[in-house]
Amino acid sequence: MTARSVACLLAVIALVMSGCSSLKGTGDKGYIAQDAAVRQIPIDERDQPIDVSGTDLEGEAISLADLRGGVVVVNVWGSWCGPCEVEQPDLNEGAQETAGVAEFVGINIRDASVDNARSFVRNFDVSYPSIYDPDSQALLAFSAVIPVRSPPTTFVLDAEGRIAAVIVGALPSVTTLVEIVEEIADETAGQSSG
């Protein structure tokens, strides 16, 4: 391996590890905090539908394509991620408040054991399924549109399965998430009645 290859590899590793990590210099939190950034994408600027499938934490098949026709909220998380723990109660509340309007799916990344992910789900009473993605391969479909550097990151997909909004970092509030979901759901209702 050349010196240049090693330098490139180290740069990629640094980018991947730039969010939740056990890096020194992160204060007593144990992770690098991200301020939530909310970005909504106008309908005419949305890319292709996101096709992600895998197995959930119980080994059952799950596919985002099967959920098309309604709003889907996809949360990228890890059991080792402090901000993921902080935002989970808000995600649970958002899922309850938008029941019948949106489906929620998690993507669990970089957990060495599915048992760690299952423990997180039990501890935080998560009611929706998560794709187990220890090597973060499912994120490639999202990164083609909006690069995912670290969890937590939450995507809101429209009825066609396209990214309509993204929240990078922990959710700013339940209200923010619910309003985004309702706005995207109203787009679909407006298109079918127009």
| Tens place of pLDDT per residue across the chain (194 aa) | 444 433 333 333 333 334 443 333 333 333 334 456 899 999 999 999 999 999 999 999 999 999 999 999 999 999 999 999 999 999 999 999 999 999 999 999 999 899 999 999 999 999 999 999 999 999 888 987 778 778 999 999 999 999 999 999 999 999 999 999 999 999 977 665 55
- Name the residue range of residue 102's domain: 37-193
User: For residues 110-136, b (16+ Cβ closer than 10 Å) or e, as one string?
Assistant: bbeebeebbebbeebebebbbbbbeeb
Asked if 52 and 136 count as a contact pair (C-beta separation under 8 A), the reply is no
The reply to whether 164 falls in a domain is: yes
Beta-carbon contacts of 48 under 8 Å, excluding residues fewer than 6 positions away, are 162
Question: Can you give the pLDDT at residue 148?
Answer: 79
The reply to whether 5 falls in a domain is: no
Instruction: Give me the CATH number covering residue 45.
Output: 3.40.30.10
Number of domains forming the structure of the chain:
1
The reply to whether 188 falls in a domain is: yes
Distance of CA 124 to the CA centre of its chain: 16
The reply to whether 50 falls in a domain is: yes
The reply to whether 60 falls in a domain is: yes
